[in-house]
Amino acid sequence: MVNALYTKMLIDIFKTPVYSVTLDCDNNILTQYCIEKEKSDTGRTVSNRGGYQSNNLIGLNTTCQPLFSCITKHACIFAKHMDFKNEDLKLSEVWININGYKDYNIPHIHPHTKISGVYYVQSGEGSGLIEFSREVNNLEYDWHSSTMNKLTPYNSTSWRLPTSAGTLYLFPSWLKHSVLPNTVQNLKRISFAFNLS
Protein backbone atom coordinates (compact mmCIF):
# COMPACT_ATOMS: atom_id res chain seq x y z
CA MET A 1 0.00 0.00 0.00
CA VAL A 2 1.27 3.46 -0.91
CA ASN A 3 0.48 6.35 1.42
CA ALA A 4 -0.06 9.77 -0.11
CA LEU A 5 2.30 12.05 1.81
CA TYR A 6 1.62 15.10 -0.33
CA THR A 7 -1.15 17.64 -0.57
CA LYS A 8 -3.44 17.28 -3.55
CA MET A 9 -4.32 20.57 -5.20
CA LEU A 10 -5.10 22.31 -8.44
CA ILE A 11 -2.75 25.17 -9.21
CA ASP A 12 -4.22 27.84 -11.47
CA ILE A 13 -1.20 28.92 -13.52
CA PHE A 14 -2.90 31.01 -16.22
CA LYS A 15 -6.12 32.89 -15.52
CA THR A 16 -7.92 35.04 -18.07
CA PRO A 17 -10.20 37.74 -16.69
CA VAL A 18 -13.27 39.25 -18.34
CA TYR A 19 -14.73 42.20 -16.45
CA SER A 20 -18.50 42.68 -16.68
CA VAL A 21 -20.72 45.47 -15.41
CA THR A 22 -24.15 46.85 -16.28
CA LEU A 23 -24.12 50.58 -17.01
CA ASP A 24 -26.98 53.01 -16.54
CA CYS A 25 -26.66 54.86 -19.86
CA ASP A 26 -29.37 56.39 -22.02
CA ASN A 27 -29.35 53.68 -24.67
CA ASN A 28 -32.13 55.35 -26.67
CA ILE A 29 -29.94 58.40 -27.31
CA LEU A 30 -26.92 56.19 -28.05
CA THR A 31 -28.94 54.03 -30.45
CA GLN A 32 -30.09 57.11 -32.35
CA TYR A 33 -26.51 58.39 -32.49
CA CYS A 34 -25.30 55.07 -33.94
CA ILE A 35 -28.03 55.00 -36.59
CA GLU A 36 -27.21 58.58 -37.64
CA LYS A 37 -23.49 57.78 -37.74
CA GLU A 38 -24.15 54.85 -40.09
CA LYS A 39 -25.83 57.30 -42.49
CA SER A 40 -23.00 59.86 -42.40
CA ASP A 41 -19.88 57.64 -42.15
CA THR A 42 -19.22 55.04 -44.86
CA GLY A 43 -17.39 52.91 -42.27
CA ARG A 44 -14.89 50.10 -42.79
CA THR A 45 -14.60 46.33 -42.90
CA VAL A 46 -12.27 44.82 -40.30
CA SER A 47 -13.70 41.93 -38.24
CA ASN A 48 -17.29 42.47 -39.33
CA ARG A 49 -18.95 40.19 -41.85
CA GLY A 50 -22.03 42.02 -43.00
CA GLY A 51 -23.40 44.86 -40.96
CA TYR A 52 -21.65 48.16 -40.33
CA GLN A 53 -18.46 49.20 -38.54
CA SER A 54 -17.70 52.92 -38.15
CA ASN A 55 -14.36 54.64 -38.29
CA ASN A 56 -12.70 55.80 -35.07
CA LEU A 57 -14.93 58.12 -32.98
CA ILE A 58 -12.23 59.54 -30.68
CA GLY A 59 -12.42 63.34 -30.45
CA LEU A 60 -15.01 65.88 -29.37
CA ASN A 61 -18.23 63.93 -28.98
CA THR A 62 -20.70 65.26 -26.41
CA THR A 63 -23.36 62.60 -27.08
CA CYS A 64 -21.06 59.70 -26.24
CA GLN A 65 -18.90 61.40 -23.61
CA PRO A 66 -20.82 60.01 -20.57
CA LEU A 67 -20.38 56.47 -21.95
CA PHE A 68 -16.69 57.07 -22.73
CA SER A 69 -16.14 58.35 -19.17
CA CYS A 70 -17.80 55.23 -17.70
CA ILE A 71 -15.68 52.96 -19.89
CA THR A 72 -12.48 54.71 -18.79
CA LYS A 73 -13.47 54.58 -15.11
CA HIS A 74 -14.16 50.83 -15.22
CA ALA A 75 -11.03 50.16 -17.29
CA CYS A 76 -8.94 51.77 -14.56
CA ILE A 77 -10.64 49.53 -11.96
CA PHE A 78 -9.94 46.49 -14.16
CA ALA A 79 -6.28 47.59 -14.59
CA LYS A 80 -5.93 47.85 -10.81
CA HIS A 81 -7.16 44.25 -10.44
CA MET A 82 -4.58 43.25 -13.07
CA ASP A 83 -1.89 45.05 -11.05
CA PHE A 84 -0.75 47.29 -13.89
CA LYS A 85 2.04 49.69 -12.91
CA ASN A 86 0.16 52.57 -14.54
CA GLU A 87 -3.61 52.35 -14.14
CA ASP A 88 -4.27 55.70 -15.86
CA LEU A 89 -5.68 54.37 -19.12
CA LYS A 90 -7.12 56.43 -21.96
CA LEU A 91 -9.41 55.48 -24.83
CA SER A 92 -7.32 55.26 -27.99
CA GLU A 93 -10.00 53.94 -30.35
CA VAL A 94 -13.79 53.64 -30.26
CA TRP A 95 -16.02 52.42 -33.06
CA ILE A 96 -19.63 51.38 -33.62
CA ASN A 97 -20.78 47.93 -34.75
CA ILE A 98 -24.28 47.47 -36.13
CA ASN A 99 -25.14 43.86 -36.91
CA GLY A 100 -28.43 42.99 -38.59
CA TYR A 101 -29.85 39.57 -39.41
CA LYS A 102 -27.07 36.97 -39.96
CA ASP A 103 -24.28 39.56 -39.49
CA TYR A 104 -21.35 38.57 -37.25
CA ASN A 105 -17.74 39.29 -36.27
CA ILE A 106 -14.96 36.82 -37.01
CA PRO A 107 -12.40 35.72 -34.37
CA HIS A 108 -9.80 38.43 -33.82
CA ILE A 109 -7.59 40.19 -31.28
CA HIS A 110 -6.76 43.89 -30.82
CA PRO A 111 -2.96 44.27 -31.15
CA HIS A 112 -0.78 47.09 -29.75
CA THR A 113 -3.14 48.04 -26.93
CA LYS A 114 -3.69 46.95 -23.31
CA ILE A 115 -7.40 46.57 -22.64
CA SER A 116 -10.24 46.18 -25.11
CA GLY A 117 -13.95 45.89 -24.66
CA VAL A 118 -17.47 46.31 -25.89
CA TYR A 119 -20.62 48.04 -24.65
CA TYR A 120 -23.98 46.77 -25.93
CA VAL A 121 -26.45 49.54 -26.68
CA GLN A 122 -29.13 47.40 -28.29
CA SER A 123 -29.36 43.61 -28.25
CA GLY A 124 -31.70 40.84 -27.23
CA GLU A 125 -32.10 37.10 -27.02
CA GLY A 126 -30.93 35.54 -30.27
CA SER A 127 -28.89 38.62 -31.27
CA GLY A 128 -25.67 36.59 -31.01
CA LEU A 129 -23.37 35.79 -28.10
CA ILE A 130 -19.83 37.08 -27.69
CA GLU A 131 -17.36 34.18 -27.69
CA PHE A 132 -13.89 34.20 -26.14
CA SER A 133 -11.48 31.45 -27.17
CA ARG A 134 -8.17 29.97 -26.16
CA GLU A 135 -5.29 29.77 -28.62
CA VAL A 136 -5.61 26.03 -29.18
CA ASN A 137 -5.39 24.02 -32.38
CA ASN A 138 -8.68 22.12 -32.15
CA LEU A 139 -7.37 19.41 -34.50
CA GLU A 140 -4.81 18.44 -31.87
CA TYR A 141 -6.93 19.08 -28.79
CA ASP A 142 -8.71 16.07 -27.30
CA TRP A 143 -10.63 17.83 -24.53
CA HIS A 144 -13.84 18.03 -26.54
CA SER A 145 -17.20 18.87 -25.00
CA SER A 146 -18.35 15.31 -25.79
CA THR A 147 -15.75 13.98 -23.33
CA MET A 148 -16.78 16.26 -20.44
CA ASN A 149 -19.61 15.93 -17.95
CA LYS A 150 -20.04 19.71 -18.17
CA LEU A 151 -18.02 22.60 -19.51
CA THR A 152 -16.03 24.62 -16.97
CA PRO A 153 -13.32 27.30 -17.18
CA TYR A 154 -10.78 24.48 -16.79
CA ASN A 155 -11.83 22.30 -19.72
CA SER A 156 -13.34 24.70 -22.27
CA THR A 157 -11.63 25.99 -25.40
CA SER A 158 -14.22 28.76 -25.71
CA TRP A 159 -16.62 30.62 -23.46
CA ARG A 160 -19.76 32.50 -24.52
CA LEU A 161 -21.42 35.41 -22.77
CA PRO A 162 -24.71 37.19 -23.52
CA THR A 163 -24.77 40.48 -25.39
CA SER A 164 -27.44 42.14 -23.25
CA ALA A 165 -28.20 45.83 -23.72
CA GLY A 166 -26.43 47.87 -21.02
CA THR A 167 -23.61 45.35 -20.53
CA LEU A 168 -19.98 46.45 -20.63
CA TYR A 169 -17.26 43.82 -21.06
CA LEU A 170 -13.54 44.53 -20.63
CA PHE A 171 -10.80 42.01 -21.42
CA PRO A 172 -7.08 41.75 -22.27
CA SER A 173 -6.57 42.89 -25.84
CA TRP A 174 -4.73 39.65 -26.70
CA LEU A 175 -7.79 37.53 -25.87
CA LYS A 176 -9.28 36.17 -29.09
CA HIS A 177 -12.98 36.88 -29.45
CA SER A 178 -15.81 36.86 -31.96
CA VAL A 179 -19.53 37.54 -32.01
CA LEU A 180 -21.98 34.95 -33.32
CA PRO A 181 -24.52 35.77 -36.03
CA ASN A 182 -27.59 37.78 -35.13
CA THR A 183 -30.54 35.41 -35.66
CA VAL A 184 -33.23 38.05 -35.00
CA GLN A 185 -34.64 39.56 -38.19
CA ASN A 186 -36.19 42.70 -36.71
CA LEU A 187 -33.58 43.73 -34.10
CA LYS A 188 -30.10 45.02 -34.87
CA ARG A 189 -27.29 44.32 -32.42
CA ILE A 190 -25.64 47.69 -31.78
CA SER A 191 -22.45 48.12 -29.79
CA PHE A 192 -19.46 50.35 -29.14
CA ALA A 193 -16.12 48.52 -29.28
CA PHE A 194 -12.93 50.14 -28.05
CA ASN A 195 -9.28 49.97 -27.04
CA LEU A 196 -7.49 51.60 -24.13
CA SER A 197 -3.77 52.31 -23.91
Q: Mean of the per-residue pLDDT values for the chain? A: 92
pTM of the predicted protein model: 0.92
Beta carbons within 8 Å of 8's beta carbon, 6+ residues apart:
none
Q: Kindly report, residue by residue over 175-185, the tens digit of the pLDDT.
A: 999 999 999 99
Torsion of CA 135, 138, 141, 143, to 10 degrees: 100
Domain count, the chain: 1
Q: Kindly report, residue by residue over 81-106, the tens digit of the pLDDT.
A: 999 987 789 999 999 999 999 999 99
Q: What is the pLDDT of residue 23?
A: 98
In a domain, 94, yes or no: yes
> How many CB atoms are closer than 10 A to CB 116?
22
The residue that leads in pLDDT, 158 or 28, is: 28
Q: What is the pLDDT of residue 148?
A: 84
> How many CB atoms are closer than 10 A to CB 195?
23
> How many CB atoms are closer than 10 A to CB 43?
17
In a domain, 37, yes or no: yes
Asked if 110 contacts 195 with a C-beta cutoff of 8 angstroms, the reply is yes
Q: Which of 2-16, 108-122, 152-166 has the lowest mean pLDDT?
A: 2-16
Domain region containing 69: 21-58+65-122
Is residue 139 over pLDDT 60? no
Asked if 113 contacts 173 with a C-beta cutoff of 8 angstroms, the reply is yes
Is residue 138 over pLDDT 80? no
Place 6 in a pLDDT band, splitting at 50, 70 and 90: low
In a domain, 106, yes or no: yes
Q: What is the pLDDT of residue 8?
A: 76
In a domain, 162, yes or no: no
Summarize the confidence of residues 51-80 as an average pLDDT. Answer: 93
The Cα-based distances of 175 to 108, 170, 180 in angstroms read: 8, 10, 16
In a domain, 177, yes or no: no
